[in-house]
Structure 1
Amino acid sequence: MTQNSAIDVLISGAGAAGLTLAIELARRGVSFRLIEKLDDPFRGSRGKGIQPRTQEVLEDLGILDRVVAGGGAYPRQREYRDDGSVGESDAVLREEPTPAEPYRLPLMVPQFLTEGVMRERLIELGHRQEFGCELTGFEQDETGVTARLKGRSGEETIRVRWLVGADGGRSFVRQALDIGFPGKTLGVRAIVADVELTGLDRDAWHRFGEGDMQRQLALCPLAGTDLFQIQGPIPLDGEIDLSAAGLTALVSERTGRDDIFVRSVSWASAFNMNARLADRYRLGRVFLVGDAAHTHPPTGGQGLNTSVQDAYNLGWKLAAVAAGAGDVLLDSYEEERRPVAAAMLGLATRLLDALKRGDIRRGRDVHQLDIGYPESSLALEKPERRGGVLAGDRAPDAPLTGAAGQPRRLFEMFKGAHWTLLCYEVGQPAVPPRQGLHIHRIGRGGDVIDEEGHFREAYALTPGDQVLVRPDGYIGAIVASGEASALETYLATVGLGPVADQQS
């Protein structure tokens, strides 16, 4: 059976990246299908850290409170030393929130819980994933992609405008495109298992044999569940018994304790750690997101977070081009996201080296709040700035007061599928209103007032400056008064031309 091209996007893979992209498209009214070859949802906790920048993304998607409710903070680490002493330390850097950075503490939320909340959000938006449906082949041409699917009701061929491979480290889409996936195997094989056990308190992340890759073992209570996650390096070769009895024996051997018993195993995996990056993220009308584009060692909690933000970056761009923006906008996806993954791979690899030495503290460098796109073709400054936030930076939050006297937050003003133009101490915005653009005047006579100076402190603007914030919360342009023509040109390139153009 063949369907005509009534669908804009086919997403292959319904993990965190695929679900994020589906939510982004759903709330913009873009037609899509989200398929997953597995028969039911992933049941493991491999990606359990939600970094502060990803928390900001989840707030925009409308699910942060639900995700937080399902998880919790990281417990302190309890290190059991060979001499019988015990030490405690923080696993993550603990910083107080600020007006510009409201979330500064990584969360622990098992991956299956995060993805469950995402599926609920997708249902609220009128969509759901298709389990037991596999992409078996595809061809593309100048106008679209012809994809062959095999599902529970048989085989079908569909026509779509774009295909997105969100299908993991062994990506069928990437391999079918013959896109290189260079990198290295890091010489570390490990287990990760979600288990029910007795003999350990749930108030700490228990760590044994730190710095010894033959004996190292960590048992972490998984927030939001009754489970513990067991992690530890294992020999590069040979079979590993991942049954309850096998894991109990491993725990006993490495901890020297005979009072810890694994009662049942919810999910378990033995895997080789890799650091790999796809040569390209786009080939014609086909894109790669998440683990299909980059695979990380789990140190630092970067994999799932980077994957979610890939999809967050690509989603609004696909929607803009589907609505009439120039196709060149889609080239900015790889331009912006591939360097980020390269940096995160380097960070995760350095953290793995530190873990081997027994140093497992994580600082601000894993929070992803400092990631930006300053070299992007979508970053415009007129004139060039020397301080404060720059085009391409993450747009800071700030508490403001509405003209009617009620509190407002910038993040609340950014929330949704639109662009936002912030006009600081401006009598008249540089551009007239148009669909997809929310305009706010900040300052005297504006609709929002910076009573406490947090906006002024975070953005360091001069009266008359105007800041254009992208749908994904990054600064697209900062222009001074008198640069209306540059702002109009920019808006036209992203599909937000003048009202007359939008109506034609």
Structure 2
Amino acid sequence: MSAEKIEDVLIVGAGPTGLSLAITLRCYGIPVRIIDRAAQPSSVSKALAIWSASLEAMQGMGVIDDFLRDGARLSALCIGDGGRQLARMEVGAGIDSPFPFPLLIPQSETERLLNARLSALGVTVERGVEFAELSQDENGVTATLKDASRTEVVRARYLVGCDGARSEVRRALDIPFEGSTEPQTFLLGDVRIDGGGLDHKNIYLWWRRGGTIALFPFEENTWRIFAMRETDSAADVPPTLDELQGHADRYGPPGMRLRDPSWLSAFRINERVAARYRVGRCFLAGDAAHVHSPAGGQGMNTGIQDAVNLGWKLAYARAGIGDPNLLLDSYEPERRAIAQNVVRAAEQKLHLAFSSGAAMRIVKDIAVSFLGNLPFVQKRLQIELSETEIVYHNGPLVALGAPPRNPARTDVGARARDAILTVEGKDQPLWPLLSESRHTLLLFEDAGSPMMSTAVATYLTDKLLGVLRFAPENDPKNHVRMRYAQQGPGWVLIRPDQVVAARGNGSDLTVLNRYLDRVLRPLKCSAIKADGARQTVGEA
């Protein structure tokens, strides 16, 4: 191999997905280079909601306290027709998470907080740098980058396109963006609103006389109004404040007066998923891999979770830990299936919310009035949006853990759960211990029946694995056992992205040892920094 400088991972795009990926890699000590064509970070609000599974990921990235400090917790979704409210759906009740609520925060603030964390980890986003083209071979990727003054050709072990819906990386890889475009033009405005009896902790979905608007609160006294243009004669022209006021008057809660717009936009909605997430040493994540309607507020969240899923696998591959083909081949089947489900669900919500006609209005009123006020319906919707019940069914990494036919929460491929354990007589949450950059093994041992094997001890020495042993003294009320459905001796292995990797009952560690051998065994001499981050060694 030539002596030219080779980047470990080149990330194209510094939105929430690219920043989350860079942070995840840096938590393992992997050098990254991240570029963005925009000269300045985005100053507009864009995505507003961060759901529970993404907040769980934020803890792993070391930024959760910043988000909880600067974001606002959403209280309810209010649905109405004309002058009457049909349903008030509490948001947060029923979500099984250490963060059982969605957080409202403008995307510009999300990017600012993530960028500050990345800077603290020693990486600065290179702005005004545009990706132009790439080629790759078995050893790496050659990318051409351009800025205002020069063209640069760089080599990288891996390249990840996090460069949005119009991804140039996806284009360069010749990956089809499969799906469709909604025929209607939608309108968006960030405005101040007087009147209407609005509570700034609630979302409002309102319809009457054949039209619908949605209202999302953020910042102080600012609202996002979302509507559909009646005619496409001015499809690409941003709305005026008067046009949005007309929608509010015709379709929204009575008495609203809009003022002081800070962002006005008209756009078409795409519902698309990339046909491939990986080509050789190149990957797609976030909006480069999937786009859909804003209904449900899951687009940015799905991208952040793409990044966390891919990040630890790239870090292991780059550090010479585990089987790189197994790890990297697992990204697409795990995350693409999730994106397909999210896109489909968002499309259904959009069509239901903005369907028109007198008959449909009656049907919606009856359905929302009855079903929308049922606790179990509210709970199912919140769980779906929170993404805490996502289960990975496909891919070689899931198969390695020998999942059951119909996995439930804490089975292989599903997310881990928080629980309460006792340390030195004091109760504390389990989740922070699962959010560290390593695998975590929960050992449920009977008194006098230790289960630690020589193989497990080897990975402890390498600091690739954390072990938590549960006995009467630290699980006196059997809370952890109940949360992980353990009736007797057994074990549960949790991945760095808080997904259950494998589990077993009794003292049989066959599946565990097989997983550890394929995923945690150093292929080359890998070192661990004192803070737990992996040194970047090896030639993967």
Map 1:24-423 → 2, pairs under 5 A: 24-76=24-76, 81-82=81-82, 85-87=83-85, 89-91=87-89, 93-95=91-93, 101-199=97-195, 203-204=199-200, 210=207, 215-222=211-218, 224-235=219-230, 237-239=232-234, 240-244=237-241, 247-248=244-245, 251-252=248-249, 260-263=257-260, 265-324=261-320, 325-328=322-325, 329-357=327-355, 362-379=381-398, 380-381=400-401, 389-402=410-423, 404-423=424-443
Which of 414, 419, 427 does residue 450 from structure 2 map onto? 427
Aligned AA (1:23): I
Shift of 1:161: 0.6
Shift of 1:185: 1.5
Partner Cα separation in structure 2 for residue 436 and residue 197 of structure 1: 52
Structure 1 residues 5 and 480, CA gap change in structure 2 (3 angstroms): farther
Asked if the contact 2:490/2:507 (under 8 Å) is kept, the reply is no
Asked if the contact 1:491/1:497 (under 8 Å) is kept, the reply is no
Asked if the contact 2:27/2:61 (under 8 Å) is kept, the reply is no
More displaced stretch, 18-27 vs 404-413: 404-413
Residue aligning to 2:490: 465
Aligned AA (2:441): L
Question: What's the CA shift string for 1:58-95, capped at 9, x where partnerless?
Answer: 1222222321222212254566644xx33264355441
Shift of 1:56: 1.1
Partner Cα separation in structure 2 for residue 128 and residue 210 of structure 1: 46
Structure 1 residues 395 and 255, CA gap change in structure 2 (3 angstroms): closer
Structure 1 residues 79 and 363, CA gap change in structure 2 (3 angstroms): closer
Question: What's the CA shift string for 1:140-188, capped at 9, x where partnerless?
Answer: 1111111111124532111101110111111111111111111111333
More displaced stretch, 173-182 vs 360-369: 360-369
Aligned AA (1:172): E
SS in 1 for 2:411: coil
Partner Cα separation in structure 1 for residue 484 and residue 217 of structure 2: 40
Asked if the contact 2:71/2:104 (under 8 Å) is kept, the reply is yes
Shift of 1:286: 0.6
Aligned AA (2:164): G
TM-score between the two structures when normalised by the length of structure 2: 0.83
Residue aligning to 2:375: none
Aligned length: 492
Asked if the contact 2:7/2:156 (under 8 Å) is kept, the reply is yes
Shift of 1:45: 2.6
Partner Cα separation in structure 2 for residue 452 and residue 12 of structure 1: 49
Aligned AA (2:464): G
Residue aligning to 2:504: 479
SS in 1 for 2:268: strand
Partner Cα separation in structure 2 for residue 479 and residue 462 of structure 1: 11
Residue aligning to 2:534: none
Asked if the contact 2:323/2:523 (under 8 Å) is kept, the reply is no
More displaced stretch, 336-345 vs 149-158: 149-158
Shift of 1:220: 3.1
Asked if the contact 2:421/2:475 (under 8 Å) is kept, the reply is yes
Aligned AA (2:439): W
Structure 1 residues 340 and 279, CA gap change in structure 2 (3 angstroms): same
Gaps of 5+ in 2: 356-363, 373-377, 529-537
Partner Cα separation in structure 1 for residue 223 and residue 337 of structure 2: 35
Aligned AA (1:391): V
Aligned AA (1:31): P
RMSD (Å) for aligned C-alpha atoms: 3.0
TM-score between the two structures when normalised by the length of structure 1: 0.88
Question: What's the CA shift string for 1:87-116, capped at 9, x where partnerless?
Answer: 264355441566xx3232222222222222
| 2:452 pairs with 1:452 | no
Asked if the contact 2:73/2:103 (under 8 Å) is kept, the reply is yes
SS in 2 for 1:105: coil
Gaps of 5+ in 1: none
Structure 1 residues 115 and 464, CA gap change in structure 2 (3 angstroms): same
Structure 1 residues 96 and 281, CA gap change in structure 2 (3 angstroms): closer
SS in 1 for 2:343: helix
Partner Cα separation in structure 2 for residue 474 and residue 383 of structure 1: 12
More displaced stretch, 300-309 vs 349-358: 349-358
Question: What's the CA shift string for 1:305-353, capped at 9, x where partnerless?
Answer: 1111001100000000001132211010001111111111111112112
Aligned AA (1:60): G
Shift of 1:387: 8.2
Shift of 1:484: 3.6
Structure 1 residues 134 and 211, CA gap change in structure 2 (3 angstroms): farther
Asked if the contact 2:95/2:383 (under 8 Å) is kept, the reply is no
SS in 2 for 1:90: strand
Aligned AA (1:372): V
More displaced stretch, 239-248 vs 314-323: 239-248
Identical residues among aligned pairs (%): 34
Shift of 1:420: 0.7
SS in 1 for 2:397: coil
Structure 1 residues 237 and 391, CA gap change in structure 2 (3 angstroms): same
| 2:438 pairs with 1:438 | no
More displaced stretch, 120-129 vs 488-497: 488-497
Partner Cα separation in structure 1 for residue 161 and residue 249 of structure 2: 42
Partner Cα separation in structure 1 for residue 428 and residue 404 of structure 2: 30
Shift of 1:441: 1.1
